[in-house]
């Protein structure tokens, strides 16, 4: 019995980690699309520009320790409200964006910074809401059978 509980706990942790990784990947992709359209792109090399921004954003997620703070907060936060972790994730985005901007010596002009922060906050909030929905289903033990009914 104890072994089964430990296996279930381990699988839940792996599923939580997979959902967090999916959230971060989606955030990086959507933020990259935002930057591509804000700063322009070469029509013949849209994918190349998008990949450039994705790599840059992942690098910035790592260097500002955004990934570390979000994985820790996702792991320990057990709020009852659906919006509580998305609010925390959005606050972390603002904090780490400011760290990036200060470290880069004011990389963005005020107008650009406001647009990026506003759109980025919406992206982070939406991604964490979706991730929270999937986590809630996992933690409540809901699953779907092949016919699509909830069990």
State residue 151's pLDDT score. Answer: 45
Yes or no: say if 125 and 86 are a contact pair by the CB < 8 Å rule: yes
Nearest alpha carbon to residue 112 among 45, 5, 35: 35
pLDDT tens readout for residues 71-123: 888 888 777 788 889 999 999 999 999 888 888 777 778 888 899 999 999 99
- For residue 110, the Cα-to-chain-centroid distance in whole angstroms is 24
pTM greater than the 0.85 cutoff: no
State residue 12's pLDDT score. Answer: 76
Mean pLDDT calculated for residue range 7-25: 84
pLDDT of 139 over the 80 cut: no
Instruction: Please state, in angstroms and rounded to a whole number, the distance separating the CA atoms of residues 146 and 148.
Output: 5
- For residue 45, the Cα-to-chain-centroid distance in whole angstroms is 26
Q: What radius of gyration do the chain's Cα atoms show?
A: 18
State residue 145's pLDDT score. Answer: 47
State residue 58's pLDDT score. Answer: 93
* Mean per-residue pLDDT of the chain: 84
Nearest alpha carbon to residue 126 among 78, 87, 99, 100: 87
């Amino acid at each position: 019995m104890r072994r089964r509980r430990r296996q279930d706990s381990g699988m839940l942790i792996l599923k939580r980690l997979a959902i967090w990784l999916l959230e971060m990947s989606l955030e990086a992709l959507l933020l990259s699309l935002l930057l591509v359209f804000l700063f322009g792109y070469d029509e013949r090399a849209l994918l190349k520009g998008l990949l450039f921004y994705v790599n840059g954003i992942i690098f910035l997620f790592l260097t500002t320790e955004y990934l570390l703070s979000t994985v820790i907060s996702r792991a320990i936060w057990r709020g009852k409200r659906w919006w509580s972790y998305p609010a925390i994730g959005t606050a972390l985005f603002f904090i780490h964006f400011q760290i990036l901007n200060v470290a880069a010596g004011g990389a963005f002009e005020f107008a650009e910074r406001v647009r990026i922060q506003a759109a980025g906050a919406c992206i982070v909030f939406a991604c964490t809401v979706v991730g929270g929905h999937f986590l809630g289903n996992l933690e409540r033990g809901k699953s779907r059978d092949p016919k699509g009914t909830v069990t």
